[in-house]
């Protein structure tokens, strides 16, 4: 389906809205969605994340046999089902498929760690240098993809510093 | 308490309302996409009983299959429920406050979708109120939560605080001066987004916009709420500046009085014409050009929405009946002193 706004690109964002007393569904491409203020996939507006999930599945998936057999012990969902529907099945899914969901979470929020509001500070595990660099790279690529070059440049410098420390 | 759209709150010339929405799931149950009807029933009753116990007489419980499609659409027009929830014709639970400013959708996208709306710019108060209900529920059930990624939600885009804070703004001057695209970019760079409240892509009558946080992970509730408040104050200041320039122009004053003239005399008002004119009259009211109370314009904007009009005026849902009923309501409200 083509985007209703530009009529050129493939529509990936589907928005349910009420207009003129009728329910209407709007189909927009990623650029137009972002331009019109829907780029954030705000839930409650029926935006579909399965496109995004599918886009990532190829890069981050486990080898085929593991993909076939691995199911969430609590709800029975496979990663493939989560990808095709855009819906996570239960709280345990986040544990079972954590590594594969993480890039999606990164892509959506630009971050991958919760900042709790209450006094209980989250005790962050000490990461190895490789983990730190990997995390920074991920953050950098998502900064680039949202055209936040300032952040990307700062992250690149951080990565350089870390990598530089290694050679010394 | 009165409905949010019948009063004017802080910065009410520009900010019609503030909304907070919290998404929660209960650890003991799988998410709604995998929950059978028995489980849905259990979750709905559980949450209903907790809310009724904690806030006696403040809420009622509605099963959505007892409502007509028009009633559900009207609730969505008034921001009580989401368009998706309105579109479903199976049986779903909705907990609603008596003033209809707070609603809890049960087993929609997530087990609990709590949203509250207040007039004017008041994100702290709205968050505090929503948090009170949230806390009462959290005392009785274990929420699905992880230290590393926060509240666990059916869609990964809600993870973290699982909170959206939003304001509904009326920005006729910035819109007229073509300043919105640039403003939207800077709002976006701050982690928020702006979009039209009414309308579909190119057709957006009335210059009403909603601003809300884009991300929920890695930013705590207080910061999000404070950021929304300062961004909104910043936008309001810009709108004030733009408005003071516009109203010096006699052509704009003329537009305001003409819009008022049509609204107070027309016999038929289509939805789009009405939205355009009420937006202009509201602008005249906000800038003191014309003597129409803001409350009246707010009330008309909501009351003039098609499904709501059908429900409150009891007219059928053809556009001819609605256009006549809309014109009659607008004439009566705008003329009365
Ligand atoms: Zn497009
Ligand atoms: Zn699961």
Whole-complex ipTM? 0.84
CA atoms of B337 and B329, how far apart (whole Å):
14
Report the candidate in B185, B168, B158 with the shortest Cα–Cα distance to residue B79: B168
Give the tens place of pLDDT for each residue, B218-237: 889 999 999 999 999 999 99
Angle at B44 between CA B39 and CA B48, to 5 degrees: 150
CB atoms A109 and B23 under 8 Å: no
CA-based nearest distance B286→chain A, Å: 25
- In terms of average pLDDT, the best of A18-22, A58-62, A84-88 is A84-88
**Per-residue pLDDT band at B203 (split at 50, 70, 90):** low
Angle at B165 between CA A124 and CA B133, to 5 degrees: 85
Say which range, B76-90, B116-130, B286-300, has the weakest mean pLDDT. Answer: B76-90
Question: Thinking of the domain B4-243, which architecture would CATH place it in?
Answer: 2-Layer Sandwich (3.30)
Start-to-end CA distance of chain B, whole Å, equals 23
CA atoms of B44 and B41, how far apart (whole Å):
5
Q: Taking residues B109-118, report their average pLDDT.
A: 95
- In terms of average pLDDT, the best of A95-104, B272-281, B312-321 is B272-281
Q: Check pLDDT > 90 for residue A18.
A: no
Q: Taking residues B67-79, report their average pLDDT.
A: 92
Per-residue model confidence (pLDDT) at position B132: 96
CB atoms B193 and A49 under 8 Å: no
Q: What is the token pair recorded at A35? A: 């331009």
Per-residue model confidence (pLDDT) at position B258: 98
Q: Taking residues B188-214, report their average pLDDT.
A: 83
Mean residue pLDDT of chain B comes to 93
Q: Check pLDDT > 70 for residue B39.
A: yes
Mean residue pLDDT of chain A comes to 72
- Between residues A23 and A134, the one the model is more confident about: A23
- Tell me the domain boundaries of chain B: 4-243, 250-335
- Within its chain, how far is the Cα of A129 from the centroid? 24
Q: Using alpha carbons, list the distances in angstroms from residue A32 to A10, A148, B84.
A: 10, 18, 22
Please tell me the number of the ligand nearest to residue B27's CA: 2
Per-residue model confidence (pLDDT) at position A165: 58
Per-residue model confidence (pLDDT) at position B302: 92
Residue A15 three-state SS: strand
Search chain B and give the residue with CA nearest A48: B155
**Per-residue pLDDT band at B317 (split at 50, 70, 90):** confident
Give yes or no for a contact between B237 and B173, defined as CB atoms under 8 angstroms apart: no
CA-based nearest distance A161→chain B, Å: 24
CA atoms of A128 and B33, how far apart (whole Å):
37
CA-based nearest distance B150→chain A, Å: 5
Chain B residues near residue A88 by CB distance under 8 angstroms: 31, 152-156
Per-residue model confidence (pLDDT) at position A51: 47
Give yes or no for a contact between B220 and B227, defined as CB atoms under 8 angstroms apart: no
* Maximum CA extent, chain B: 64
Please tell me the number of the ligand nearest to residue A11's CA: 1
- Between residues A168 and A18, the one the model is more confident about: A18
Per-residue model confidence (pLDDT) at position B84: 86
Report the candidate in B109, B232, B181, B121 with the shortest Cα–Cα distance to residue A41: B109
Percent of chain B scored above 90 by pLDDT?
79
**Per-residue pLDDT band at A63 (split at 50, 70, 90):** very low
Q: Using alpha carbons, list the distances in angstroms from residue B227 to B172, B232, B240.
A: 23, 8, 20
E strands, B81-227, are 93-97, 102-106, 112-119, 145-146, 150-151, 163-170, 192-196, 208-213
Q: Using alpha carbons, list the distances in angstroms from residue A133 to A101, A155, B43, B242.
A: 19, 10, 43, 47
DSSP H or E stretch at residue A125: none
Give yes or no for a contact between A45 and B79, defined as CB atoms under 8 angstroms apart: no
Protein residues placing their CB within 5 Å of the ion ligand 1: A 3, 5-6, 9, 29, 32
Per-residue model confidence (pLDDT) at position A39: 56
Q: Check pLDDT > 70 for residue A55.
A: no
Rg, C-alpha atoms of chain B: 21
Q: How far is the CA of A13 from the centre of ligand 1 (A)?
A: 10
CA atoms of B97 and B55, how far apart (whole Å):
10
Q: Using alpha carbons, list the distances in angstroms from residue A80 to A59, A64, A95, A99.
A: 13, 11, 16, 14
């Amino acid at each position: 389906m083509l985007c209703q706004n530009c009529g050129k690109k493939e529509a990936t964002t589907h928005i349910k809205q009420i207009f003129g007393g009728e329910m209407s569904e709007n189909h927009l491409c990623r650029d137009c969605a972002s331009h019109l203020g829907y780029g954030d996939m705000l839930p409650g507006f029926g935006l579909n994340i399965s496109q995004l999930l599918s886009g990532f599945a190829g890069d981050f998936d486990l080898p085929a046999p593991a993909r076939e057999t691995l199911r969430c012990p609590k709800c029975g969902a496979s990663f493939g089902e989560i990808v095709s529907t855009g819906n996570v099945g239960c709280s345990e899914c986040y544990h079972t498929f954590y590594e594969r969901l993480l890039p999606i979470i990164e892509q959506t929020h630009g971050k991958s760690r919760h900042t709790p509001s209450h006094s209980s500070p989250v005790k962050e595990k000490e990461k190895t240098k490789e983990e730190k660099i990997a995390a920074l790279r991920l953050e950098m690529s998502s900064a680039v993809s949202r055209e936040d070059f300032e952040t990307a440049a700062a992250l690149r410098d951080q990565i350089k510093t870390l990598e530089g420390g290694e050679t010394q | 308490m009165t409905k949010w759209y019948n009063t004017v709150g802080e910065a009410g010339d520009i900010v019609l309302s503030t909304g907070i929405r919290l998404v929660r799931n209960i650890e003991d149950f799988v998410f709604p996409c995998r929950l059978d009807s028995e489980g849905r029933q259990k979750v709905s009753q559980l949450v209903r009983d907790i809310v009724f116990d904690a806030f006696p007489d403040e809420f009622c419980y509605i099963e959505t299959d007892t409502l007509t499609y028009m009633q559900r659409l009207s609730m969505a027009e008034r921001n009580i429920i989401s368009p998706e929830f309105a579109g479903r014709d199976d049986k779903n639970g909705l907990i609603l406050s008596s003033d209809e400013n707070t609603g809890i959708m049960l087993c929609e996208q997530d087990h609990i979708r709590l949203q509250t709306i207040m007039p004017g710019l008041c994100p702290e108060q709205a968050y505090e109120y929503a948090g009170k209900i949230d806390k009462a529920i959290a005392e009785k059930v274990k929420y699905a939560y992880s230290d590393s990624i926060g509240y666990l939600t059916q869609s990964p885009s809600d993870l973290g605080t699982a909170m959206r804070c939003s304001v509904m703004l009326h920005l006729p001057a910035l819109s007229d001066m073509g300043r919105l695209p640039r403003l939207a970019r800077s709002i976006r760079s701050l982690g928020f987004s702006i979009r039209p409240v009414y309308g579909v892509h190119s057709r957006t009558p009335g210059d009403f916009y909603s601003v809300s946080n884009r991300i929920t992970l890695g930013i705590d509730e207080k910061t999000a709420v404070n950021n929304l408040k300062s961004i909104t104050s910043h936008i309001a200041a810009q709108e004030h500046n733009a408005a003071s320039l516009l109203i010096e122009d006699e052509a704009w004053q003329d537009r305001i009085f003409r819009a008022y003239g049509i609204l107070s005399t027309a016999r038929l008002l289509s939805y789009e014409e009405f939205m355009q004119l009420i937006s202009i009259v509201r602008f005249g009211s906000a800038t003191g050009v014309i003597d129409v109370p803001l409350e009246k314009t707010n009330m008309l904007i909501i009351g003039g929405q098609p499904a709501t009009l059908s429900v409150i005026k009891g007219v059928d849902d053809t556009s001819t009946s609605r256009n006549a009923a809309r014109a009659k309501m607008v004439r009566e409200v705008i003329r009365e002193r």
